[in-house]
Amino acid sequence: MARVIKAPAVALATILLFTLPLFSKSKEVLLGEKAFSRGAHDTAKKHFEQAIENGDESGDPRFYIGLILEARRQYAESIPYFRAAAERPMQKKFRKAAYWKLVILCRQAKLYGEALRNIERLEEMGEKSEIFDKIRFEAENYQGRRDYKGNEHIRKAVALEKEYNERITNGDAAEDLGELIERIIAEYKLAIQQDARWKEYRWKIARYYEKLRRNNEALEVYRQIWEDGGDAGAAYKLGYFARKAGRYQDALTYFAAALEKDIEDPQMKFYLRYNAAQANYGLARYPEAFTHAKAARRLANELELKKKTLQSLKRVFCLSAVTNGKDDEEYCKFSKKEESAVFLNLLAMKRGIAAKTYDKAAIHATKIYEKPAVDEEENSATLPAYAMSDLPVAIGVLFRTEKYRAVLDLTERFRSTLETNADYYGWRAVSRFALKEYGSAVVEFEKLKKPTPSQMNLHLIALAHMGDFGSVKSKAAVYLKNAKAKDKLVANFRKLKVYEPLRREKDFESWLRSLTNQNATAKPEIQE
């Protein structure tokens, strides 16, 4: 295979040595660069391989190994290294160089699918070249693709895409190019309909649907890609849209499936972990949320991410860390000017709970939802998932400190919000109880498959308020089997006024003893 890269590898490496930030490089990478600059490629390769073995996740050592293999005319062996380098943290100009290497080498190896994908990435980075169209033409003709049915539609779609990219470069906004995007999608669809071998272009169709903000149609395409080939990227997209829609369990199913795949791209790994942390927190699964948030934080150190993404990660990390007794006070510092009152009060409440200063926690619980919450990530006035999942926690603190009026105020303020959101944690039942809508509360309590001890207690009290003592007894027979709930329920049966009709029954004591095997003279204690 003839060599086609004209720029000397040593010259490129010399540029690297003087432009990449030295402070971010490991010792082995620095030693490898020095050896490479002297032309000691064997020694350099050993250092770069050691850096990778030591856990270096940057693109640098992989890019250098690719250059060494390419210089030795081991072109096929160099491709995986350039590929791995391009998918890892590197300066933009050198990531661009890695993509160029992949375009040329994949073209030589007739790996046209990969060559075309890397051309797209270069074009997204602002690169233009006549060679791109030449490679597209070669790809169409390779192995008879020119004779595939629908080839003319692919040609039309590519021409329309070129027009689209030019207009974007000239300053047109994507939302103003809807008609052009529709034509691109239509051409790719027609090609696939005529010959399924064009199905690789489904990724383009899905992404263009996203540009049109027609997410349901994009989702359907991603689902086809996932079901056909098990692509981790498609699973991530399915999970991401499920999380945004509040379908957290569905989202976690897709994220878990994607994480089982061998993923090289650290950015993809980051977003999978970050979104999994959000979804778990939305389900009040705090240990799992912390595990994923911690992994995302570690990955974020090596990536260039938007400020609001880093801030959102910081929120979910700090909330889940505090909840799990692993508060990182140095990292978890927030500015009152930059953060919302919703989040700051929520964090202060959870810190109060962790320190068992419940009166202080209750003060913050009453303030959490005073103002409308804005989800910074979505740029919309909606209640963030982390705030929704902690509503029951706030209610619990207020009940514990006997601030019942605050419970009513809190519930009424978000009643309309609750009506339209999925109830993963029994919040709707508690809100109905707080508003003294006992019939509605009972209906909601009955839906809970695994009620907490507090929810069991409120369920029985709601039934008693309705005068349904037959149901109180039947439910008590179930709930008193729960070791964590038993003492609280027994104390309330003996003392609360609402259970007075039950205590007047002759067999009350024998009934209670039969369910608990406790001494009937146990000291009463009111707990709600």
C-beta of residue 266 within 8 angstroms of C-beta of residue 299: yes
C-beta of residue 249 within 8 angstroms of C-beta of residue 283: yes
Q: Does 149 have pLDDT greater than 70?
A: yes
Q: How far is CA 425 from CA 106, 284, 314, 452, 528, in A?
A: 52, 7, 24, 9, 18
Which residues in 443-455 are b (16+ Cβ under 10 Å) and which e?
A: ebbeebeebbbbb
Q: How far is CA 464 from CA 284, 472, 476, 501, in A?
A: 29, 7, 11, 9
Q: How far is CA 476 from CA 181, 257, 340, 434, 512, in A?
A: 61, 40, 43, 21, 9
In this structure, the chain runs to a length of 528
Query: For position 83, what pLDDT does the model report?
Result: 87
Which is nearest to 97 in space by CA: 166, 5, 22? 5
Which is nearest to 403 in space by CA: 368, 437, 452? 368
Query: For position 389, what pLDDT does the model report?
Result: 77
Query: For position 171, what pLDDT does the model report?
Result: 84
Residue range 408-459, pLDDT digits in tens: 777 776 666 556 666 766 777 887 887 788 999 999 999 988 888 888 999 9
Residue located via tokens 């098990």: 230
Q: What is the mean pLDDT of the chain?
A: 82
Query: For position 373, what pLDDT does the model report?
Result: 52
Question: Could you give the CA distance from residue 23 to residue 25 in angstroms, rounded to a whole number?
Answer: 6
* 120-136 average pLDDT score: 82
* 264-283 average pLDDT score: 88
Q: How far is CA 353 from CA 342, 357, 360, in A?
A: 17, 6, 8
Which one is predicted more confidently, 41 or 302?
41
Residue range 358-379, pLDDT digits in tens: 999 999 988 876 665 555 554 4
53-62, 110-119, 291-300: segment of lowest average pLDDT:
110-119
- The pLDDT-based confidence of 383 (bands split at 50, 70, 90) is very low
Q: Does 298 have pLDDT greater than 60?
A: yes
Which one is predicted more confidently, 98 or 303?
98
Show the tokens assigned to 350. Answer: 């959870």
User: Sign of dihedral through CA atoms 52, 54, 57, 60?
Assistant: negative
Residue range 3-44, pLDDT digits in tens: 444 343 434 444 444 444 433 678 888 998 888 888 888 898
* Model-wide pTM > 0.75: no
Question: Could you give the CA distance from residue 131 to residue 21 in angstroms, rounded to a whole number?
Answer: 32
| 200, amino acid identity | E
Query: For position 22, what pLDDT does the model report?
Result: 37
DSSP 295-341: HHHHHHTTS---HHHHHHHHHHHHHHHHHTT---TTT----TTTS-H
Strand pairing partners for 375? 380
Residue range 384-413, pLDDT digits in tens: 555 667 877 888 888 788 787 787 777 776
CB contact set of 313 (below 8 Å; sequence gap of 6+) = 274, 277, 293, 296, 297, 300
Show the tokens assigned to 400. Answer: 């514990």
Query: For position 435, what pLDDT does the model report?
Result: 78
| 250, amino acid identity | D
- % of the chain beyond a pLDDT of 90: 34
Which one is predicted more confidently, 22 or 331?
331
Question: Could you give the CA distance from residue 435 to residue 450 in angstroms, rounded to a whole number?
Answer: 23
